[in-house]
Structure 1
C-alpha cells in the first residue's frame, strides 16, 4: 500500500501499488488452484467407487436373471474401455436390441479384462457358475495407480478387492490368499481355526473383531500347535450385507501345521502343512486366489 505525507504532515492512503495487487492476485490464484486440485481428486475417487459398485451390481443382476431363467436363457456382461453391456444369450452381439448399454464416467476406463481370453462373462443357467472367471480392472484415466479390481470366480461369486499394484512378475505363494464368500457374515458367530494333526481348535468370536459399521473384520493371532507357533491373520477386503471377500495371511515359511478355517460350521478354506490351499466345502465359498 502506498502512503504519501502531505503538507499537513499526515499520511494519505492512495490505495495498493501494482506490485501489491499482483502479489495478492497470485496468492488467490494459488489457493484456488489447490482447492480445485483437491476437489478433482475427491470427485474422481468418488466416481471410481460409484462406478465399481455399479459394475458389480450389473454382474450380479446378470447372474440373478440367469438363475431366475428369465426368458429361458443365460445372461452376461460385456466390457469395453468406455462402457459395459448386459446382454441375453450365450454370446454378446452388439446389434442385439435387448442389450442394456451403460456408459462409464469419462474420467474412468476399463483398463484390463482377464476373463479367459474374452471380454465377456456369461453365467450358466441353474447353477450361476461361469467358465469366464477372472478379473476386471477399472482405473482413473488421469492416474492409473488409482484403480479397483473386481474378481469373478468359477462358482459365479463376485467380489471387490482393494486396488492392487501391477506386480505380475512378483513370486507368489500361499502366504496371502483371497476368496469370496457369498453370504451375509455381518451376524456370524464363530470363526474356527482347526489344526487336524493336533486336534486343536481355536474359536474366535467373530462379532468382537468387526468394526462399528460391520463393514470390516480383522483378526490376527498366534496359536501354539504341538510346540510350534502358528501365526495367522484373517481380514475382509469387502464386507456387505450380502457377501464378503476374505484375505488370509499364513506365511508358510513359519507355519507348519495343516489348517481348516470354518465360519459357523461352513468350511471356507483349507491349508495343507506345506501351504497348499483348497477351496472350502461350503457351497458359498469361492476358489482361493493366491496373491
Structure 2
C-alpha cells in the first residue's frame, strides 16, 4: 500500500532534505534543512548536520561551544509560523477550527479562495487526503508562487489532490458538485453566486473575515441570497499557561483576536430558507425613528392616581 503524500517525511530517522527544529536551553527555535556535509553555526558554536542524519527524532546534539540542542521535526503549526510569507497566514487555531467546523473529510472536494502563503492549504490537503481534491484560487501570482513553494516544501513535492489557479474565484470557478467552500478574502459576499452554483445541497460554506463590518455584510448577503441556511459566527482565543511546580497561572500573553469564522450550508434547489423567528433589536438595521414613550405600568399608574 502506498503511503499518503508526505507521510514518509513525518516519521523515522532523520534523512537528507528533512526539516529539523532545534530548541536551545532557553526554548528558542532554529529550523534547518539537513544537508550532508553542512554545518549549523551560531554564536554558541557549531555542529555538523551529519550528526543528525540517520538518528531518531528527540536526539540531543551538542555544539562546539558545549550548548545542547533538542532536535525534532517541526509540527505543522511550527512550520506555518516560521515559513516564508507573502500574505499573513491563517493561524493554526483558526485552521483547526475550519477543518473541524466545516467538516472537511477524506475524499472531499473543496474549493479555497484566498491562498495567501499556503498555511490553510496544507491543513485542507491533509484533511482531504490524496483521493480528495482541493481547488485553490489566488488573485496575486506572487502570493501563489510563495504558497506553492511552501506547500511542496512541507509535503516533499507536489500534492496530487491540489490544483492552484491564479485569478478571481467568481470569474474562474469551473468546479461543480463541490462539498465545501472556504473563503479567506476581503469581500466574500461578492462570490456567493458562484459558490451557490458550485456547492452540493447540504454543502458547507465557511468564511474567514477580519472585521465586524465584513462579518455583518457577509451575513446579510447570505440571508438575502436565499440559497443558504441561517449563518453562524464565532471567534476563538488561545491562552497558554505557565507551569512551574505549584506556580500555575495563565501567561501574560495570549493569541487573541485573529479573525471571525462564519458558516452556512447550501439549501436544496427551489427551497426557501425557513422564516427567522427571532425579533431583531431596535436599531439593528440602522433605524432612526425615536421609539415611542412606553405606557406607564400598573404601579406607576397607581402612584399617579394617589397623587391626584
Which has more strand, going by share of residues?
Answer: 1
When the two structures are superposed, what TM-score results if normalisation uses the length of structure 1? 0.23
When the two structures are superposed, what TM-score results if normalisation uses the length of structure 2? 0.22
Larger Rg: 1
Which has more helix, going by share of residues?
Answer: 2
